[in-house]
């Protein structure tokens, strides 16, 4: 099937207003928030499950790759059409289908923006807990695909802990449902298996999610430290004392200066590191809990503590944290952000070595991370127009991730694998482990048409298509694409 025939078939399914195929229309779908890119043959914008089912049937019969896409805020290349084919933008499937506060669940379409769900149900006293930094743009379908985290996942768990059931369209068009509104269902946890599968099993078209009661009271404050070591020690002692704050975030001096310059969020630029700490619960409980945390911070070196005295000030502090990516543009036009995970006790050692790696490769590194669960987010800042820079950036990123693994951690906490980290999977899994995973994936997606060449290390027969190899070679186009 050539491109003209393909476009004709797509228009039959979706209508002319829902099929993009001209270069100027599909260019934006070449990218996500990573440093990878490749152009699809066409983009479709479905409005319902039936249209997606017809598409999956068409593409399976013709072995055409299908790549689901939410808002494109992913950081691992997961929504990049590395083999061309069809990108399925779920932006039009964004309805809140149902909310039952008494049963504490909601049913949503995958294109619904994360924060929009909490805003829509706020009047009932409930909210959706997972809160990635991109929550003002990222979609719930994308959050599910990557098992996204976020600052408040320290206490409440990542996305997988908040998904009760899913509707999934398999390659070939079959529509299946897993789980449901009732918790603790018997049998295999297929819902849990689909969460975090990065679109390699099919396309999610509906999700049943938990909703949680909005806390009665919230307190947010910044603890200021001279050094990262002091802030890391405070984190270890807070968690070691059996205290799990709602959020416990750390920023280094580079990131503090950038955020303050861009956002004026109230982050003091003279601090070597700050902890953004939030606690919530019953109003009567928070005073003593805050005093205990502050006492730990002062004992470990905090020289000042700044409190949010109003909801406006609280939102300002969080806006600074969640707008960090935008602030990076003041230093360089590009950044490469990782999310390795390390044991909390290893944070000081790892942070020093991360900065050493930055100096070794002559790169500015800004750090912001979920300190409470040891999930690092070092951002390597660079200008992609500089000759040879990609080699340095990718090698530095690889060293940082290997460092995380070597101290007992892992290669991702919430961003997923995609194309960015697939070759590093062998650091943490044996070939037998990976083959077992592939066999399970093949039950759902036997011909690898659903988001192909993602997550798993590439085999020689597939060619050198990992992010590292493709970016470091000259590639005017993907000659191995399906068409």
**Could you give the percent of the chain with pLDDT greater than 70?**
95
Using pLDDT thresholds of 50, 70 and 90, give the confidence band for residue 472: low
The alpha carbon of 280 is separated from its chain's Cα centroid by a whole number of angstroms, namely 24
pLDDT score for 479: 37
Q: How confident is the model over 394-412, as pLDDT tens digits? A: 999 999 999 999 999 999 9
Chain segment 90-134, per-residue pLDDT in tens: 999 999 999 999 999 999 999 999 999 999 999 999 999 999 999
Mean pLDDT value across residues 177-198:
93
Quick one: pLDDT at residue 322? 86
How confident is the model over 12-46, as pLDDT tens digits?
999 999 999 999 999 999 999 888 899 999 999 99
Q: What count of other Cβ atoms lies within 10 Å of the Cβ of residue 107?
A: 18
Looking at residue 423, its pLDDT comes to 92
Euclidean distance between CA atoms 65 and 450, whole angstroms: 6
Average pLDDT, the chain: 92
Give tens-digit pLDDT for 310-325.
Answer: 999 999 999 888 888 8
CB atoms within 10 A of CB 155: 18
pLDDT value at residue 266: 86
pLDDT digits (tens, 9 = 90+) for 350-370: 999 999 999 999 999 999 999
Task: Tell me phi and psi for residue 154, to 5 degrees.
Answer: -55, -50
Rounded mean pLDDT of 333-347? 93
The per-residue pLDDT for 262 is 87
pLDDT of residue 3: 92
Q: 448-466 pLDDT, tens per residue? A: 999 999 999 976 444 445 5
């Amino acid at each position: 099937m050539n491109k003209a025939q393909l476009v004709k078939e797509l228009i039959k399914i979706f209508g002319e207003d829902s099929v993009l195929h001209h270069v100027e229309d599909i260019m934006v779908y070449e990218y996500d928030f990573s440093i990878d890119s490749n152009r699809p043959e066409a983009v479709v914008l479905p409005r319902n499950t039936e249209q997606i089912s017809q598409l999956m049937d068409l593409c399976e019969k013709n072995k055409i790759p299908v790549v689901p896409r939410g808002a494109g805020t992913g950081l691992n290349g997961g929504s990049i059409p590395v083999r061309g084919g069809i990108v399925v933008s779920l932006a039009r499937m964004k309805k809140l289908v149902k909310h039952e506060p008494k049963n504490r669940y909601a049913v949503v379409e995958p294109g619904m923006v994360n924060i929009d769900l909490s805003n829509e149900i706020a009047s009932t006293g409930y909210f959706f807990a997972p809160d990635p930094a991109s929550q003002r743009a990222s979609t719930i379908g994308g959050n599910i695909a990557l098992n996204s985290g976020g600052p408040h996942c320290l206490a409440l768990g990542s996305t997988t802990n908040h998904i009760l059931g899913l509707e999934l369209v398999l390659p070939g068009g079959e529509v299946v449902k897993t789980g449901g509104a009732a918790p603790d269902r018997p049998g295999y946890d297929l819902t849990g298996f689909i969460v975090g599968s990065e679109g390699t099993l099919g396309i999610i078209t509906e999700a049943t999610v938990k909703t949680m009661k909005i806390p009665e009271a919230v307190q947010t404050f910044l603890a200021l430290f001279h050094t990262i070591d002091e802030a890391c020690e405070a984190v270890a002692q807070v968690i070691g004392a059996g205290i799990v704050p709602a959020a416990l975030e750390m920023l280094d001096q580079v990131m503090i200066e950038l955020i303050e310059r861009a956002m004026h969020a109230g982050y003091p630029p003279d601090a070597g590191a700050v902890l953004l700490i939030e606690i919530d619960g019953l109003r009567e409980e928070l005073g003593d809990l805050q005093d205990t945390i502050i006492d730990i911070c002062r004992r470990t070196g905090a020289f000042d503590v700044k409190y949010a005295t109003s909801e406006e000030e609280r939102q300002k502090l969080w806006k600074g944290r969640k707008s960090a990516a935008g602030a990076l543009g003041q230093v360089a036009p590009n950044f490469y952000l990782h999310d390795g995970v390390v044991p909390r006790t290893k944070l000081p050692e790892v942070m020093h070595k991360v900065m050493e790696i930055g100096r070794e490769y002559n790169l500015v590194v800004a750090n912001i991370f979920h300190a409470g669960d040891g999930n690092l987010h070092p951002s390597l800042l660079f200008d992609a127009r500089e000759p040879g820079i990609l080699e340095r950036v990718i090698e530095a990123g690889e060293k940082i991730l290997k460092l995380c693994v070597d101290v007992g951690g892992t290669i991702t906490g919430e961003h997923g694998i995609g194309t960015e980290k697939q070759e590093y999977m062998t650091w943490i899994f044996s070939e037998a482990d990976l083959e077992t995973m592939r066999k399970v994936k093949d039950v759902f997606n036997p011909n690898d048409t659903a988001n192909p060449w993602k997550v798993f290390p590439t085999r020689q027969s597939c060619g050198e298509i990992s992010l590292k190899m493709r970016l470091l070679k000259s590639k005017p186009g993907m000659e191995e694409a399906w068409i």
